[in-house]
Structure 1
Amino acid sequence: MAEIRNILFIMADQLRWDYLSAYGHPGMPTPHLDRLAANGVRFNRAYAQSAICGPSRMSFYTGRYVTSHGSTWNQVPLNIGEWTLGDYLRPLGLRVALAGKTHMPADLEGMGRLGLDPESADGVLASQCGFEPYIRDDGLHPSQSVSPDLAYNRYLAVQGYDGDNPWHDWANSAEGEEGEILSGWYLRNAQFPARIRAEHSETPWMTDQALSFIREQGEAPWCLHLSYIKPHWPYMAPEPYFSMFGAEDVCPVNRAEEERSQAHPVMRAFMNHAEGRNFSKPGVREKVIPAYMALIKQLDDEIGRLMAELEEMGRLDDTLIVFTADHGDYLGDHWLGEKELFHDCSVRLPLIISGPGLAKGGVEDRLVEAIDLVPTFIDALGGEVPSHRLEGRSLLPLLKGNAPRQWRDVVISELDYSHRGARLELGRGVNDCRGWMLFDGRWKYVAFQGFEPQLFDLENDPDELEDLGRQSDHQERSRAFQARLFTWLTEGRNIRATLSDEAVEQRTDSWLKKGVVFGEW
């Protein structure tokens, strides 16, 4: 794959897989992403390793399951010893940089133990998940703690937006009839347009940062992680995008009364969170989802601008382009808001990949996981994939139309909800809040510590409305999945990550050759 010299790794935050026209949404036109799919391969069954920002991204960046890398929820630092994308690609000659969000807090305790200065060159890479932070902006800045020195706030100040926190006051708030600020932190204000001009909002600003980086590289090879922070809440969209969608464009909600009246205990606890209660109220979805759709439309337009610039620069001829999301958004489906749990609207991902030498217009139905991207990047650049450390599989054979004889028969996702109010409602300890999903393409098995499992038949119930876990005629299937989960936990992960399989082969039964004698008569 010598044609591929660069990698553009695009991620949207909290973008549902089914809110793109390429994936069949009836009222959400995304022509630029459709075009990207027509020029590449669209993966129909891609899944996150966890349906929440931090652990999902750490799996994307490490190529390892959540149980393996240990960053189980937001603000849980990734261990200093974990390898990330930059560690694999820099030795292949690429500059590996970030424009946008990673949601990674640094392992300052681990860095301190090693005497690694966070301000040093190596310390910065360790603090930024292995990326060179061309622009780091995670968004989500509460007004009381935001720094005016943040890059986007500095940009807004130059554009004439006043206040200590223009990110909140302009980009993520509306304006009331008497000039008062209507904060985007409250769902009720999604029904009003953001105060900011569209060209100064977060998504085009982040596109500008990406284009600046790419132009600076000239002919030098690079990998850029362009990580947009929308359409994640606050659901505040600027004009003219705000007015493009209304309540009539909102798809019917996907939920059944039995889901609530006979709810699994963990589901019920999540339904009782504020986002679950409010998205279940009449009229809320009709006010919030049009803004969500507007943010996606703006994102699609920015992808179009980005692709046009890349084509003009000649970068489409030597760049692997990946578009995905870190997770989805319930938006009221299943009586829930936010994400985290294991329904497809939360854990299933959009994934589109294009590049020179790859299939065009392909649609791939095999089960793929977020952890597959790191080995794919290494493989596409001609590097050697360290299979003893990485737990994903290279997608390059699928991208080139060479179907392997054997592929995975199950995808796995995980959750640690110990930080959430659901834990307190359920009376669980901080180490008793683990959940797992196994999905084999038809049957989805969900297990939570201390509770009976769930089971869904997506062939006959694609909307995941009927939990079969309690039915006696499905107990044997649930037990088989439980055994599969145990096998994966005990055998299916790469625990020996510091020594290659080849080194183990060479060392096997070699002690006598080294003069070490034991057990001999």
Structure 2
Amino acid sequence: MMNVLLITVDQLRWDALSCAGEGGAHTPHIDRLAREGVRFSQAFTNAPACMPARSSLLTGRFPHAHGVRGGGVRLSEREVTFPQIVSQRGYHTAHIGKLHVQNHTYRDHTAPHPGYGFRTLQVTDERGVYRDPYTQWVERNYPEYADAIRIEPGASRVRSRTDHAETTGAFPARASHSRWVGEASVEFLREYGNAPFLLWSSFFDPHSPFIVPSDLAGRYDPADMPLPRKCDITSDNEESIRKKRAAYYTLVSHVDDCVGEILRYLDESGLAKRTAILFSSDHGEFLGDYGRWGKGRPEDESIRIPMIVKTPEMTEAPPVPRVVDDIVQLFDLAPTICDLTGSMKPHSMQARSLLPLLGGGTDPGRPPFALIEHNFETSRTDAAEVFEKTLRSKDFRLTVWSGRDDGELYDLRTDPAQDRNVWDVPEYAEIRFGLVWQLLQRLLQTENTLPVRTQPF
């Protein structure tokens, strides 16, 4: 039976890896996966926010189907997840790191977390905020840094507008959250590697705030950092922007270091010969582009993600890297894992397995566009909500919002940077109508079919 290792990195831009082209961080270990495996160059999230995106990954369903329409909405324990399905095949299912399909603010982290099909579950939805498996690991192994790794909760950082601050931490890399994910993952493999396993190693970095371990400071020179595009750069903010970008890339490279340790153990133990590795991110990061930081918008910086799949038979890098340009989405990893483990896929899954594309084949039933959904509150006082739907194909990006008569339409064939909104341009009226119709049809095709119809009436 084939083992599965799923590696996710939080808030990782599609172009932040060196294998994606010039300008990325130095990521030799993840690049190796891309050389030996298959890299999907047109991969998109299902939602540019943690909770809905991760819920889609777990269920293989769109946010409008599983109900986690945005942050603050927890995933129902009645949803069918790929760990539940795989566990029925006899796999030891495990999750280590950030899961974030339950609200973690004000949650009692000493209470058991819903399992969602995982037999082993070590959840740390933020680093250094709660007394969770990570902070306890630091207390046991590096007590001198137990206070140094502590940070205020994300909700507080958002209110104080410090969530995208960068700083050098008073702790070394060996006590970082990324190092804990790597070491805990190797520990799990050492203990349970002989049985069929499904392990999800979920890194929090390079999610903001960009806190760099003390011994990694200077890994990237801020002066060498490219400045963001479509951003108002002034003498007052340029230095700060360059430091933030350098810190972000430092954290990306640190995650790559820790991924390398996991891959090294797979090689040395022989597990690599029977383990499929899937790599991706939940969403992107603006990193100063458009003058923004974070995610939550329909531009590519926020919705486009890296994705790599390597199966055991892919042992050597081919002369030409395997790159698939078909449009794929984050939740496609769920049915792919089911196929790799020989598990049955429930009819409720709306995603499509990547297996037909891995060997250079085609998938005629795959839509030639991604559907990305976002939901956000317009006011914290009355909880009014706006629903956002984006259709992203290779040629166009269309976005519409509830309660608005206008929208956004970009012709990526002539405007890849998405600088000119042609929504109201007469020459694009027919194209706009066709895309809106495709979007409507996709929403109708993916209506929720749970609970299952059991009788005619």
TM-score by length of 2: 0.88
Aligned residues: 440
Structure 2 counterpart of 1:153, from 129, 135, 138 = 135
Is 1:365 aligned to residue 325 of structure 2? yes
One-letter amino acid of the counterpart of residue 3, structure 2: N
Quick check: 1:138–1:229 contact (8 Å CA) kept in 2? yes
Structure 2 counterpart of 1:326, from 269, 277, 282 = 282
Quick check: 1:64–1:390 contact (8 Å CA) kept in 2? yes
What is the CA distance between 1:480 and its match in structure 2?
2.0
Quick check: 1:68–1:495 contact (8 Å CA) kept in 2? yes
Query: Residues 223 and 52 from structure 1, CA distance in 2 versus in 1: closer, same or farther, beyond 3 angstroms?
Result: same
CA distance in 2, matches of 1:497, 1:373: 21
Corresponding position of 2:125: 138
SS of the residue 2:265 aligns to: helix
**Residue pairs, 1:127-276, within 5 angstroms:** 127-140=114-127, 142=129, 146-147=130-131, 150-162=132-144, 165-168=147-150, 186=162, 190=166, 192-255=167-230
Is 1:26 aligned to residue 2 of structure 2? no
Quick check: 1:416–1:435 contact (8 Å CA) kept in 2? yes
Quick check: 1:453–1:478 contact (8 Å CA) kept in 2? no
Is 1:61 aligned to residue 58 of structure 2? yes
Q: Which runs of 5+ in 2 are unaligned?
A: 105-109, 155-159
Deviations 1:395-441 (A, max 9, x none): 111112222344321110000011xxxx139x9x7454000110121
Query: Residues 160 and 430 from structure 1, CA distance in 2 versus in 1: closer, same or farther, beyond 3 angstroms?
Result: closer
CA distance in 2, matches of 1:454, 1:208: 45
One-letter amino acid of the counterpart of residue 12, structure 1: V
Is 1:74 aligned to residue 58 of structure 2? no
CA distance in 2, matches of 1:415, 1:291: 28
Quick check: 2:77–2:116 contact (8 Å CA) kept in 1? no
Quick check: 1:390–1:494 contact (8 Å CA) kept in 2? no
Q: % of aligned pairs identical? A: 27
What is the CA distance between 1:393 and its match in structure 2?
0.5
Structure 1 counterpart of 2:442, from 488, 493, 511 = 488
Is 1:43 aligned to residue 19 of structure 2? no
Instruction: Please state which structure has a larger fraction of its residues in helix.
Output: 1
Corresponding position of 1:354: 310
One-letter amino acid of the counterpart of residue 415, structure 2: D
Is 1:446 aligned to residue 421 of structure 2? no
What is the CA distance between 1:73 and its match in structure 2?
1.8
Deviations 1:142-175 (A, max 9, x none): 5xxx33xx222222223444587543269x9xxx
CA distance in 1, matches of 2:182, 2:136: 17
One-letter amino acid of the counterpart of residue 18, structure 1: D
What is the CA distance between 1:26 and its match in structure 2?
2.9
Corresponding position of 1:394: 353
Query: Residues 134 and 80 from structure 1, CA distance in 2 versus in 1: closer, same or farther, beyond 3 angstroms?
Result: closer
Deviations 1:74-129 (A, max 9, x none): 2311123211121111111111111001112179xxxxxxxxxx97xxxx67x143
Q: CA RMSD in A?
A: 2.9
One-letter amino acid of the counterpart of residue 298, structure 2: F
SS of the residue 2:323 aligns to: strand
Quick check: 2:165–2:209 contact (8 Å CA) kept in 1? no
Using the TM superposition, name which of 457-466 and 329-338 deviates more.
457-466
Corresponding position of 1:338: 294
Quick check: 2:391–2:397 contact (8 Å CA) kept in 1? yes
Quick check: 1:66–1:414 contact (8 Å CA) kept in 2? yes
Quick check: 1:68–1:494 contact (8 Å CA) kept in 2? yes
Deviations 1:182-237 (A, max 9, x none): xx9836862x4211011111111110000111111142101011000000011011
CA distance in 2, matches of 1:104, 1:354: 26
Query: Residues 430 and 199 from structure 1, CA distance in 2 versus in 1: closer, same or farther, beyond 3 angstroms?
Result: same
One-letter amino acid of the counterpart of residue 401, structure 1: G
Quick check: 1:78–1:106 contact (8 Å CA) kept in 2? no
CA distance in 1, matches of 2:314, 2:58: 23
Using the TM superposition, name which of 481-490 and 304-313 deviates more.
481-490
Corresponding position of 2:14: 17
CA distance in 2, matches of 1:256, 1:398: 37
CA distance in 1, matches of 2:437, 2:51: 28
Q: Which runs of 5+ in 1 are unaligned?
A: 108-117, 173-183, 258-276, 512-521
Corresponding position of 2:414: 460
One-letter amino acid of the counterpart of residue 482, structure 1: V
Query: Residues 140 and 400 from structure 1, CA distance in 2 versus in 1: closer, same or farther, beyond 3 angstroms?
Result: same
SS of the residue 2:326 aligns to: strand
One-letter amino acid of the counterpart of residue 371, structure 2: I
What is the CA distance between 1:464 and its match in structure 2?
1.7
Query: Residues 400 and 22 from structure 1, CA distance in 2 versus in 1: closer, same or farther, beyond 3 angstroms?
Result: same
CA distance in 2, matches of 1:255, 1:129: 41
Is 1:415 aligned to residue 391 of structure 2? no
One-letter amino acid of the counterpart of residue 355, structure 2: L
SS of the residue 2:203 aligns to: strand
Q: Rg: which structure is higher?
A: 1
Query: Residues 11 and 218 from structure 1, CA distance in 2 versus in 1: closer, same or farther, beyond 3 angstroms?
Result: closer
